[in-house]
Structure 1
Amino acid sequence: MVTLAEVAQHAGVSASTVSYVLSGKRSISASTRRRVEESIRVLGYHPNAGARALASSRSNIIALMVPLRTDMYVPVMMEIAIAVATTARAHGHDVLLLTGEEGPDAVRRVTGSGLADAMILMDVELDDERLPLLRASDQPSVLIGLPADTTGLTCVDLDWGATGALCLEHLAMLGHRDIAVIGEAPAVYERHTGFAERTLDGLRSRARELGLRALHRPCEGGYDAVAATLARILDERPGTTGFVVQNESAVEPLLALLRQQGRAVPEDMSVVAICPDQVAVQASVRLTSVGIPAQEMGRRAVEHLMAKLGGRGTDEVVLLPPGLTVRTSSGPALRRVR
């Protein structure tokens, strides 16, 4: 392992000069700084994390709080986490991943221990118990998600309300009047998770404006749960011709069940999904869908956090606009009841 003394010898300067270049505590001439930085690059020197923290009063670590719940679609959460980690690394920071369902206790542990310079929180609920602690702390933070009250917070998220409305508008344009929403697992709504609640609010609001009937049913996902949910929907609303699915685990079981019942997609039933593009294009019927910009959300969250750490950031809400890609799972409604 290359030492600071070896960098100093290679650059022809003192060890203290190398230390000042790394910490920025003293002004160093541009030519000397370039020489030291070139030696660091050539030798592959990496400062010891502990020493660096002592020198700068910073750990250069970001805490990422992402509870991995069984009722959430983990691949999307991990795609966001990877985007956070790679963007943070480009800014010279590492990521401490906190995956437990600890809530406020995890925030207290991070803010009270100096483990990290800043925090990014995911799986945000409308009335998230972690938020009072964030507002009371001097530590910079960013939410990937949108609570009910965003005062004093920086939030990055997909515009889920506009996403729900966009799915509804697409089906309405095709002549569908009775639309069913197969949603996330019941526990997601019981926690008042922001993305699920806001999608539903946007969809219902647009349905009222357009005079459509929208029926929402949560679903655990998996074949048996989707079969029971579909049977309930068709019993309650036999005229249903359009589905919006916000549950990646329900997509393929729904398509299989419709096939088994002799309901062709999209001739008899149209299906629009809110899911990653990979899920949409690999389904047995290529799904019309609104994609989830996981990488963009992770990248933007880190960029806003770096601005805060640099004293440039302000509290703001950034909502990414949704985009709907039309594929083969949606078509004109047939006005007949099965």
Structure 2
Amino acid sequence: MVTLAEAAQPAGVSASTVSQVLSGKRSVSTTTRQRVEQSIREVGYHPNAGARALAGKRSNIIALMTPLRTDMYVPVMMEIAIAVTPTARTHGYDVLLLTGEEGPDAVRRVTGSGLADAMILMDVELEDERLPLLRDTDQPSVLIGLHADTTGLTCVDVDWSATGALCVEHLAGLGHRDIAVIGEAPAVHERHTGFAERTRDGLRSRARASGVRVLHRPCEGGYDARALTLARVFDERPGATGFVVRNESAVEPLLAPLRQQGRAAPEDVSVVAICPDQVAVQASVRPTSVAVPAQKMGRHAVEHLMAKLDARGSDEVVLPAPELTVRARSGPAPAAS
């Protein structure tokens, strides 16, 4: 960790001058201030909140890192964040929300400054650049998501592989032999985001075991993009009768293009969505769905973090089994004509 004296050296000033620039308690010339600010940026100095407090005193702050990306379904991310905040308050902690896409830089800033006692990371990728930094620090942390290597980590997530498999199992059990998957935006897969990759792997694995064909197509947001994706699916697989929607924003908008294609649910096609229950029940045509328990994940992450802060917790991976709710939009595959 960079010290105050090390931050002062490139600027040619004393450590006390750097402190004065940071605190603003004393007047410092504009030229000196600019030199100090440049030096701070160059050496990566972060004021240590813990050092300004009494020895051994915690900040009682949890950092929640949740990049709000335009290619992801933000309501689910915020639902998790909203669950984290009141749960943390019941333990006497406030939440510092980091919403930028700074990645490792944000982790360095928080762990190096003593600004927070612990950290929760969301939007976890299979090869996440933030993880080596967390492993190199003693600061407690919990991931809402699953890294490719969970050694030395505490992770709270849905068993996405089992979720994908459950969708195929349901449709295959109804006689559907040709299934199309409307996936997340292409950028989500390009980043190898854990939940999207694991769901796709689970879908494909169970499809192979069940003798079912699966076509997976990523889908951008917007009505036109969804309609185009659906049209391409039917061009490639005109016999598709089962649909898995792994894109929360596409659950409701997918139904209108299906009707325009002359395919009614569940008479011609069956639809299974992977989404929060409220998304499924608020749709004009309620699909069968596998729930995304966003609030429960947020609460569990805080509870595991509190256990680690109190030296009660150990590294573990918590993956509740998925639950499928059958509704009217999935039914037997239509008889071949």
1:15 aligned residue: none
1:93 aligned residue: 93
AA aligned opposite 2:241: T
1:203 aligned residue: 203
Q: 1:87 to 1:211 in 2, by over 3 A?
A: same
Inter-partner Cα distance in structure 2 for 1:290 and 1:55 = 48
Deviations 1:23-64 (A, max 9, x none): xxxxxxxxxxxxxxxxxxxxxxxxxx9999526421000000
> How does the TM-score come out when normalised to structure 2?
0.84
AA aligned opposite 2:120: I
Measured on the aligned residues, the alpha-carbon RMSD in Å equals 1.5
1:103 aligned residue: 103
Deviations 1:120-166 (A, max 9, x none): 00000000000000000010000000010001100000000000000
Unaligned runs of 5+ in 2: 1-48
Matches within 5 A, 1:284-323: 284-323=284-323
Tell me the CA shift for residue 248 of structure 1.
1.4
CA contact (8 A) 2:164 2:203 kept: yes
Segment drifting more, 217-226 vs 88-97: 217-226
Inter-partner Cα distance in structure 2 for 1:220 and 1:335 = 32
2:271 aligned residue: 271
1:17 aligned residue: none
Deviations 1:73-104 (A, max 9, x none): 11110110011111100000000000000000
1:241 aligned residue: 241
Inter-partner Cα distance in structure 2 for 1:73 and 1:230 = 19
AA aligned opposite 1:253: P
**Counterpart check, 1:65 vs 2:79:** no
**Counterpart check, 1:172 vs 2:172:** yes
Inter-partner Cα distance in structure 1 for 2:185 and 2:227 = 14
CA contact (8 A) 1:140 1:309 kept: yes
Tell me the CA shift for residue 254 of structure 1.
1.3
Matches within 5 A, 1:1-338: 53-54=53-54, 56-336=56-336
Inter-partner Cα distance in structure 1 for 2:245 and 2:239 = 17
Tell me the CA shift for residue 261 of structure 1.
2.0
Q: 1:147 to 1:62 in 2, by over 3 A?
A: same
> How does the TM-score come out when normalised to structure 1?
0.83
Inter-partner Cα distance in structure 2 for 1:113 and 1:301 = 23
AA aligned opposite 1:121: L
Deviations 1:290-316 (A, max 9, x none): 111111111111111101110111111
Tell me the CA shift for residue 186 of structure 1.
0.1
AA aligned opposite 2:104: P
AA aligned opposite 1:241: T
Q: 1:98 to 1:83 in 2, by over 3 A?
A: same
Deviation beyond 3 Å, 4+ runs, structure 1: 49-53
AA aligned opposite 2:329: S
Inter-partner Cα distance in structure 2 for 1:323 and 1:133 = 34
Count, aligned residues: 289
Inter-partner Cα distance in structure 2 for 1:254 and 1:270 = 12
Unaligned runs of 5+ in 1: 1-48
Q: Match of 2:157, SS?
A: strand
Inter-partner Cα distance in structure 1 for 2:124 and 2:276 = 19
Identity value in percent: 84
AA aligned opposite 2:166: L
Tell me the CA shift for residue 328 of structure 1.
1.0
AA aligned opposite 2:137: S
Inter-partner Cα distance in structure 2 for 1:54 and 1:325 = 52
Inter-partner Cα distance in structure 1 for 2:299 and 2:176 = 37
Inter-partner Cα distance in structure 2 for 1:235 and 1:65 = 41
AA aligned opposite 1:125: E
